[in-house]
Amino acid sequence: MKLLVTTSPHIRSSLSLHKVMYTVILCLLPALFWGVYYFHIRALFLLITCSLSTVVTEVIFKKVRRKPVSIGDGSALLTGVLLAMVLPPYLPLWMAALGGFIAISLGKEVFGGLGYNIFNPALLGRAFLMASFPVQLTTWGIPARASWVSVDAITQATPLATTLPKFSGNGIYPLQKLLFGLHPGSMGEVFSIGLIVGGLILIALRIADFRIPLAAILTLTILSSVFYFTGKNYPSPAFHLLAGGFLLGAFFMATDPVTTPYTKKGRWVFGVGMGALIVFIRLFGGYPEGVMYSILIMNSFTPLINRLTRPLPLGGKK
Amino acid sequence: MKSYIVFIKGLWRENPVFRQILGMCPTLAVTGYLANGIAMGLAVVFVLVASSTVISVFRKLIPKQVRMPTFIVIIATFVVLVDYFLRANYPFLSKKLGPYVPLIVVNCIIMGRQEAFSSKNPVWLSFLDALGMGIGFTLALIILSTVREILGFGTLLGHPVLGQWFTPWVIMALPPGAFLSLGVILGVINTFQKKSTR
């Protein structure tokens, strides 16, 4: 009999990094397919550009630093896919490529690579683009003709911009349209059903923790109902849940294991903070959408939340 | 030979911005345009050289206990000179630089050179040290503002250099752009520095 002497850990999970990353990408597929179908070929170009740009940037950084090239784990690809999903589908492609470069270089590699970044790289890339090209990043459109090669688009405001009272507040956007993704918006955020299904699968597979999405959804619902039932024509909670990038953010970005708290209590705190910030930015801030900024702001609080919610070791004293 | 080293060290090896990280207020605030960067750099060169020389002349007369207020008075005199000169001759530039010209008084590069060098060294060396540090500061501002003006406006000294296709990166003209570009430049310099000392 062969005896093997090893140090702990003795039990290893079969879940590896690249399995996690590719599962997340698989769960994003329904929303992605819908985005490409609805916004036509330009959305596909956007997706390819972002993915190529993030992967190539990662390779360059690893080569320059003479470290093993680890694009096989899929994390750079996932960043690229997520970035494409939060950008307007008709964005000039060189801007998308720049966003991917910034996301990986300033968002991840300068901090030391995967696992050391403070902010969600995809959202950081988008925040950089948002600050650099505010006009292009807020120009939305829906395809003008139902043809695959058409790049014509009609510029239209997003449901959030047409419904929020601080902008015009004249229309209640039909919820079915929001649910089935028949409205202008970022490439990957429009198809609510796909995002919900993908997110639930992610949670069922225990890859994403249910606490952050649940806390964010509850907070958003409760807080927006307070305004809905008391205030002057604020949009309904259902609208808040389905419009904009909330579902994508809550299920796929706020569950990123690197930039969100690792304690169970901390995850509740993160979700509540995120939901509350979204409602306040949407209703009272200068922008129609607040999902990106609320996740980035909560990312910056993550180390603090981790420190304050660290569970006591058995027999430890406060 | 010694005077040569005193002069040259401020340019690169002890560059006030890139190596000592001093004078961050004007470095970050006025580098949106190359013209502003050059003007601020030259203003600092004048104030630094003049006050270092004067303080070095009087270094044995200034009592230790009140040296800081004395330095401030001397520096402030030259800053007022520069401020009035700019206002009279280049009112447009003066308006653009705003409060950052009067703020040269509290620029830590200038105060630092008085404390560390000119209050202890002879006039000629103090003059060279101030000149080197001032030119080093100007060089740093030129590098930073060139990057920011090209990316933030697509122009250089007001002339379009990148053509029609270029969409300016608004972020580079804003304060975050100053922090980002300074950070990237510092990172690159540190990387090369590490490699050359290894």
Same domain, residue pair A176 and A132: no
Per-residue pLDDT of A126-138, as tens digits, reads 999 999 998 888 8
Mean pLDDT value across residues A58-87: 89
Instruction: Identify whether residues A205 and A274 lie together within a single domain.
Output: yes
* A198 and A286 housed in the same domain: yes
Same domain, A21 and A131: yes
How far apart are alpha carbons B110 and B129 in whole angstroms? 11
Residue A164 within any structural domain of the chain: no
Q: Is there a single domain that holds both residue A201 and residue A119? A: no
Claim to verify: residue A118 and residue A175 sit in the same structural domain: no
pLDDT computed for residue A178 by the predictor: 82
Same domain, residue pair A81 and A176 = no
- List the Cα angle A243/A244/A245 in 5-degree steps: 125
Report in angstroms the alpha-carbon separations of A141 from A137, A144, A151: 11, 9, 11
The two structure tokens encoding residue B120: 């202890």
10 Å CB burial of residue A154 (0-12, 13-18, 19+) is: exposed
Task: Look at A131 and B187 and tell me if their CB atoms are within 8 Å.
Answer: no
- Residues of chain A contacting B167 with CB distance shorter than 8 Å: 92, 95, 133, 136
CA–CA distance, A311 with A271 (Å, rounded to integer): 18
Q: Tell me, what's the pLDDT at B35?
A: 92
Would you say residue A285 lies in a domain? yes
- Which residues, including other chains, have CB under 8 Å from residue A265's CB and lie 6 or more apart? A309, A311
A59, pLDDT greater than 90: yes
Question: Are B167 and A133 inside 8 Å of each other by CB?
Answer: yes
Q: Quote the Cα angle for A14-A19-A22, to 5°.
A: 165
**Do A175 and A299 have their domain in common?**
yes
Q: Based on the structure, what is the number of domains in chain B?
A: 1
Asked if residue A120 belongs to a domain, the reply is: yes
What is the dihedral angle through the alpha carbons of B37, B118, B10, B176, rounded to the nearest 10 degrees?
Answer: -40
Question: What is the average pLDDT across A147-157?
Answer: 61
Radius of gyration of chain A (CA): 20
Under-70 pLDDT residues of chain B: 1, 198
For the segment A191-197, the average pLDDT, to the nearest whole number, is 91
3-state secondary structure of B103: helix
For A204, the domain range is 171-183+192-306
pLDDT score of A161 more than 90: no
Distance CA B15, CA B21 (A): 8
- Whole-complex ipTM: 0.83
Q: Is residue A36 part of a domain?
A: yes
Which chain B residues are within 8 Å of A136, Cβ to Cβ? 167
The answer to whether B118 touches B59, Cβ cutoff 8 Å, is yes
* Same structural domain, A175 and A302: yes
Q: With an 8 Å Cβ cutoff, is B8 touching chain A?
A: no
- Asked whether the beta carbons of residue B167 and residue A136 sit closer than 8 angstroms, the reply is yes
Residue A231 lies in a domain: yes
For B24-54, how does the pLDDT look when each residue is reduced to its tens digit (9 = 90+)? Answer: 888 898 888 999 999 999 999 999 999 999 9
Which residues from A are below 8 Å from B178, CB to CB?
A: none
Tell me the nearest-neighbour CA distance from A143 into chain B, angstroms.
24
Does A280 lie at the interface with B, CB-CB under 8 angstroms? no
Using alpha carbons only, give the angle B18, B22, B23 rounded to the nearest 5 degrees.
110
| Per-residue confidence (pLDDT) for residue A145, from 0 to 100 | 54
Q: Do A131 and B171 touch (CB under 8 A)?
A: yes
Same domain, A302 and A238: yes
Identify the pLDDT of residue B5.
87
Chain B residues with CB-CB distance to A132 below 8 A: 169-172
Among the residue ranges A223-237, A297-311, B22-36, B40-54, the one predicted with the least confidence is: A223-237
Q: What is the pLDDT of residue A171?
A: 58
Instruction: Note whether B180 contacts A: Cβ–Cβ < 8 A.
Output: yes
**What pLDDT shows up at residue A118?**
92
Query: Distance from A95 to chain B by nearest Cα, in Å?
Result: 9
A9 cis-preceded (ω within 30 degrees of 0): yes
Co-location of A225 and A300 in the same domain: yes
Disruptive mutation site among A132, A139, A293 for chain B (greatest number of B CBs within 10 Å): A132
Q: What is the average pLDDT value for chain A, to the nearest integer?
A: 86
Note whether B169 contacts A132, CB cutoff 8 Å. yes
How is residue A109 written in tokens?
């590699």
A92 contact residues in B (CB cutoff 8 A): 167
Q: How high is the pLDDT of residue B8?
A: 87
Q: Residue A83: pLDDT above 90?
A: yes
The answer as to whether A272 is a domain residue is yes
pLDDT digits (tens, 9 = 90+) for B74-101: 999 999 999 999 999 999 999 988 889 9
3-state secondary structure of B198: coil
Task: Give chain A's domain count.
Answer: 2
Residues of B in contact with A128 (CB under 8 A): 171
Take residue A53 and report the two structure tokens written for it. Answer: 């740009």
Q: Which residues of chain A does B179 touch, with a Cβ-Cβ cutoff of 8 Å? A: none
The model's confidence at residue A290, banded by pLDDT at 50, 70 and 90, is confident
- pLDDT band for A65, please (50, 70, 90 cuts): confident
Which of B150, B171, B172 to substitute to test the interface with A, most A CBs within 10 Å?
Answer: B171
Instruction: Read off the DSSP letter of residue B128.
Output: H
Lookup result for tokens 């807080």:
A223
What domain range includes position B13?
A: 2-197
Q: Quick one: DSSP state of residue B168? A: P
What's the rounded Cα separation, in Å, for the pair B144 and B140? 6
* Residue A161 forms part of a structural domain: no
What are the CA-CA distances from residue A284 to residues A140, A150, A166, A276, B114 (Å)? Answer: 22, 38, 7, 12, 50
Q: Which of A95, A110, A131 sits opposite B170 (nearest CB)?
A: A131
B162 interaction partners in chain A (CB closer than 8 Å): none
Q: Which of A78-82, A84-88, B6-10, B91-95 has the lowest mean pLDDT?
A: B6-10
- Does residue A293 belong to the interface with chain B, where contact is any CB pair within 8 Å? no
DSSP letters, B42-58, are HHHHHHHHHHHHHHHHT
The verdict on B174 touching A (C-beta cutoff 8 Å) is yes
Mutation target for A interface from B162, B170, B186, B190: give the one with most A CBs within 10 A. Answer: B170
The closest CB to that of B174, out of A106, A131, A136, belongs to A131
Whole-prediction pTM value? 0.87
Please check whether residues A176 and A300 belong to one and the same domain: yes
Decide which of A315 and A21 is more confident.
A21
Residue A148 pLDDT > 60: no
Looking at residue B186, what DSSP letter applies? H
Residue A317 lies in a domain: no
Beta carbons within 10 angstroms of residue A19's beta carbon: 15
Check whether A186 has a pLDDT greater than 80.
yes
Q: Do A128 and B170 touch (CB under 8 A)?
A: no
Q: How many CB atoms lie within 10 A of CB A273?
A: 19
Cα–Cα distance measured from residue A172 to residue A236, given in angstroms and rounded to the nearest whole number? 9
Q: Write down the pLDDT at residue A169.
A: 53
Q: Measured between CA atoms, how close is A92 to chain B, in angstroms?
A: 10
Are A133 and B172 within 8 A, CB to CB? no
The structure tokens listed for A50 are 């972002």
